[in-house]
Amino acid sequence: MTTYVLTVQCPSRRGIVAAVSGFLADHGCNITDAAQFDDTETGRFFARITCTPETGTGLEALREGFVPVAQSFDMDWGIHDAGERMKVLVMVSNFGHCLNDLLYRWRIGALPVDIVGVVSNHHTYQKLVVNHDIPFHHVKVTKENKPEAEARLLSIVEESGAELVVLARYMQILSDGLCQKMSGRIINIHHSFLPSFKGANPYKQAYQRGVKLIGATAHYVTADLDEGPIIEQDTVRVTHAQSPQDYVSLGRDVEAQVLARAVHAHIHRRCFMNDDKTVVFPASPGSYASERMG
């Protein structure tokens, strides 16, 4: 059965829900799932609605018909076919736990995306990627060639049609210009020790301070490096009996899980930028189901 996803964000005012639901009903669409949030601090309204066209209304007809509603409320909006897979480009360096996790979830259908390529500044995971029949792009990055490397990256994004770039432990800093150009389209993952433990060996620093919680943060990339709007976070408990190496292993596990959840939220259009924060709605029923077990 065809399912459409309608996303809306606009200045908050009376009548938005009535106008949207009335439009869908008038065009033969049955709402199957809906979430909304009115941010009283920013004065913004956010909504995500899934619906099924019971009278055969097509996607383009819905988009065309919704324009007057959107204009009357000054909406930033979109209507998408839920079955259409988002094109994703993954970037990785020498740590493969997040890449391997994403590839597994993609292979079993738990992350319904089209991985259009993997970019790396090393050859470490070339064979792994090629064995999945995914294009592998080696883009060497040095201080001297960084502008040329980023130009190559942008050309890969454009040629592949990538709608989302996932930094799966890609250990290179992107330029301000690239971050601004792709605002809201790049997701990064890192440990959750910032700003306390910066630089090399953050897990060792955490061990030396005797922390009891370690975790990971997935966020949209901005020019503020690791301070972009947070999408997903999680933690795991540690004790005095565990070593710095244990911290690293546990950290890798939680990083992979948090990144996958953030990608899941974005590809299902559940995540909205809200100034320096995000609005992340719950998943629709059935969206975590896998096509196969392995």
Query: Is pLDDT of 45 > 80?
Result: yes
Instruction: Kindly state the average pLDDT of the residues 101-127.
Output: 97
What pLDDT was estimated at residue 225? 62
Same-domain status, 93 and 56:
no
CATH of the domain at 155: 3.40.50.170
Q: Which two tokens stand for residue 165?
A: 């770039």
Same-domain status, 144 and 260:
yes
In a domain, 292, yes or no: no
Query: Is pLDDT of 47 > 90?
Result: yes
In a domain, 42, yes or no: yes
In a domain, 294, yes or no: no
Same-domain status, 97 and 203:
yes
Report d(CA 231, CA 130) in Å as an integer.
30
> Which secondary-structure segment (H or E) carries 98?
helix 97-108
Range of the domain at 40: 4-81
Domain boundary among 31, 58, 81: 81
Same-domain status, 163 and 259:
yes
Query: Is pLDDT of 38 > 70?
Result: yes
Q: Which two tokens stand for residue 40?
A: 């009283």
pTM to 2 decimal places: 0.95
In a domain, 138, yes or no: yes
Same-domain status, 266 and 137:
yes
Catalytic residue numbers?
A: 226
Report d(CA 263, CA 207) in Å as an integer.
29
CATH of the domain at 58: 3.30.70.260
In a domain, 236, yes or no: yes
Same-domain status, 103 and 234:
yes
In a domain, 293, yes or no: no
* 150 and 142 Cβ atoms separated by less than 8 Å: no
Instruction: Kindly state the average pLDDT of the residues 103-120.
Output: 97
Closest CA to 91 of 10, 185, 171: 171
Same-domain status, 112 and 255:
yes
Same-domain status, 187 and 211:
yes
Report d(CA 4, CA 31) in Å as an integer.
9
The mean pLDDT of the chain is 94
Domain boundary among 81, 102, 122: 81
Task: Write down the residue that tokens 């948090």 correspond to.
Answer: 258
Closest CA to 279 of 8, 72, 33, 32: 8
Per residue in 135-183, pLDDT (tens digit) is: 999 999 998 999 999 999 999 999 999 999 999 999 998 888 888 888 8
Structural domain total, the chain: 2
Same-domain status, 69 and 109:
no
In a domain, 208, yes or no: yes
Same-domain status, 42 and 59:
yes
Query: Which one-letter DSSP state was computed for residue 229?
Result: P
Same-domain status, 46 and 166:
no
What pLDDT was estimated at residue 293? 66
Domain boundary among 35, 57, 81: 81
What pLDDT was estimated at residue 55? 95
Same-domain status, 100 and 121:
yes
